[in-house]
Copies of this chain bind each other. A is one copy, B any other.
Amino acid sequence: MTKTDLSRFNNDWYQPGGALKKLLWYFCNVLVLKNHLWFHGASKIALLRLFGAKIGKGVVLKPGVSVKYPWLLSIGNHTWIGENVWIDNLTRVEIGSHVCISQGALLLCGNHDYKKSTFDLMLGEITLEDGAWIGAKSVVSGGVRVKSHAVLSVNSVASKDLEAYSIYRGNPAEKVKDRTIRV
């Protein structure tokens, strides 16, 4: 059987940003964004914008949030990013308006080609459309579009698109029912 050889892994093609910008952001992420003592969300949002994130109005950002590359992140209006949410956006993540990402959730853009001995890096953009709700400790995999007002339940894993106004649960997440919203 063919074996993997991680010494031959090569992601030189992957250039998500300048070295200095990445280094500076790395420390800002650790010292400010993830810092629980720095609980003032508005200043964290300002810092994310300074590094290129597009963030609308009325966004709530809780302590402990980690963002890989702000310049690959956009967030609409009145969206909530919960405590300890991990946005591991090796590539673009687009979050709509009125989205809730609950505590401990992970947006996971990176993957590896397990069919290649070189274990190549694979990237997939993530899109969370308006009104979506990503439950606590759940995971959205790269390439997934969570459509309008879809819900991913607690500790579930979305590895394919979630249909609009639908509620999903499990690993892999399966649709369990429709979401009907009253006024």
Interface residues of A (CB under 8 A from B): 1-7, 26-27, 30-31, 34, 36-37, 39, 58, 77-80, 86, 88, 98, 100, 103-104, 106, 108, 112, 114-117, 119, 130-131, 133, 136-137, 139, 141, 148-149, 151, 153-157, 159, 164-165, 167, 169-172, 179-183
- Contact of A100 with B183 at beta-carbon distance under 8 Å, contacts A139-B137, A154-B108 already known: no
Pull 29 A–B residue pairs with CB atoms less than 8 Å apart, ordered by A: A1-B148, A1-B149, A2-B182, A2-B183, A3-B98, A3-B130, A4-B98, A4-B131, A4-B181, A5-B78, A5-B98, A6-B79, A6-B80, A6-B98, A6-B100, A27-B37, A30-B36, A86-B103, A86-B104, A98-B119, A103-B108, A106-B136, A112-B133, A114-B133, A137-B139, A139-B155, A153-B171, A154-B157, A155-B171
Chain B positions within 8 Å of A103 at CB level: 86, 88, 108
Chain B residue at minimal CB-CB distance from A27 = B37
Interchain CB contact under 8 A, A182 and B115: yes
Q: Which of B26, B165, B182 contacts A117 (CB 8 A)?
A: B182
- Contact of A3 with B154 at beta-carbon distance under 8 Å, contacts A114-B167, A167-B114 already known: no
Interchain CB contact under 8 A, B78 and A181: no
Interchain CB contact under 8 A, B78 and A151: no
Bound-state Cα–Cα, A179 to B3, Å? 11
Interchain CB contact under 8 A, A117 and B169: no
- Contact of A115 with B78 at beta-carbon distance under 8 Å, contacts A1-B149, A1-B165, A156-B171 already known: no
Interchain CB contact under 8 A, A58 and B7: yes
Chain B residue at minimal CB-CB distance from A29 = B36
Interchain CB contact under 8 A, A6 and B78: yes
Cβ of A171 to closest chain B Cβ, rounded Å: 5
Chain B positions within 8 Å of A26 at CB level: 39
